[in-house]
Amino acid sequence: MKKLYIKLILYILSSTHHHNIEIESIRAAYIELKGVEKMAEKDVRNKQLLLRHYVSGFPKESDMFVSSDSTIKLKLGDDSKGVVLVKNLFLAADPHLRPLMQKDDKFSVSQSFIPGSPLYGFGVSRILDSKHQDFQEGDYVWGVTGWEEYSIISSPENLFKIHHHTDVPLSYYTGILGMPGLTAYSGFFEVCGPKKGEYVFVSAAAGAVGQLVGQFAKLIGCYVVGSAGSKDKVDLLKSKFGFDEAFNYKEEHDLGAALKRYFPQGIDIYFELVGGKMLDAVLMNMRVHGRIAVCGMISQYTKEEHEGIKNTACLIYKRIRMQGFNVVDYYPLYPKFLEFLLPQIRNGEISCVEDIVGGLENGAAALVRVFNGHNIGKQVLSLINDDE
């Protein structure tokens, strides 16, 4: 619609410049504009990715399905106070969506998905219509939205406006400049309190969060080792992200011995994204006064019963501080985070790898790739149309 307003203005400017107002051209543009407005008042199809049923074990693509049965008006009614209507552009396929696919996730504070309803998660969107004073048509935002083409967001105050999108890709706000980026920043700098020269270990290091933690650690002069699940990912950690060392945990029969090999002097900081056996092995290899930031436990998300850990006595003997955290507690740091990271991206000191697929019909496959560890970098689903 905005393009048609521009077209109408250009007609006027062009014709007045020649002292000859082209009435018929202006009238045609106006009629076209009114036609679009009428279309916005009609119901349009809203393609969605729905959960078919609750899931146990590893999710399959057949556990989800795409539907075009839902419809939506592209214009909010006068009674829609305080809400916004958005066109979703990019959706983030994140590991934390897996626990929401089961009926009762006793470990999560988020509400489980409802079978027959669309999934939801972090995404990047453009405001189509707004009944909220802080948002205008055309604004770009990131935050929680539906896995669908269009969403009505009832609490837009939880969205973040995107002000820097001309010199960085919009998709970055699903990862490096969005929730995963702020997670890496707050977890590493706020929870871990790193110092130059410390020894840092990052599990699931090739993912959206892990790849940034490792780069942050290198930026301040730490020694960094990461673990990942394939040779390609291990190579990426060393060649692209500058990790000092990296190893494929699937090739290690003794994780404790592997960690001792890479950290003969012990680990000062562990950024925890895996849990289970990896956490148990790390505890035995921590240094005195080490810090562990517990961000995720992807190895446990598909298990009916979570694995226990045996080496918790190390917390006492080595005076280790192990702290879980949630990025929402650090949302107030977002402006500080952008001030720190945007220049690093622009000058090439910090980089990211994205794994982008297009279309909601590929959404289930994208999620399964994440849960199986087959993605390389941040897994993103693009809903961008040719005219976006």
Residues 34-81 have pLDDT tens digits of 554 555 568 999 999 999 999 988 899 999 999 999 999 999 998 889
What are 299-343's pLDDT values in tens digits? 777 777 788 889 999 999 999 999 999 999 999 999 999 999 999
Is pLDDT larger for residue 23 or for residue 262? 262
**Percent over 90 (pLDDT), the chain:** 74
Q: b or e along 74-94 (b: 16 or more beta carbons within 10 Å of the residue's beta carbon)?
A: bbbeeebeebbbbbbbbbbbb
Q: Are 271 and 202 in contact (CB under 8 A)?
A: yes
Q: Are 381 and 366 in contact (CB under 8 A)?
A: yes
Q: How far is it, in rounded angstroms, from Cα 15 to Cα 22?
A: 6
Q: Are 210 and 226 in contact (CB under 8 A)?
A: yes
pLDDT at 19: 45
Q: Are 277 and 299 in contact (CB under 8 A)?
A: yes
Q: Residue 92 in 3-state DSSP? A: strand
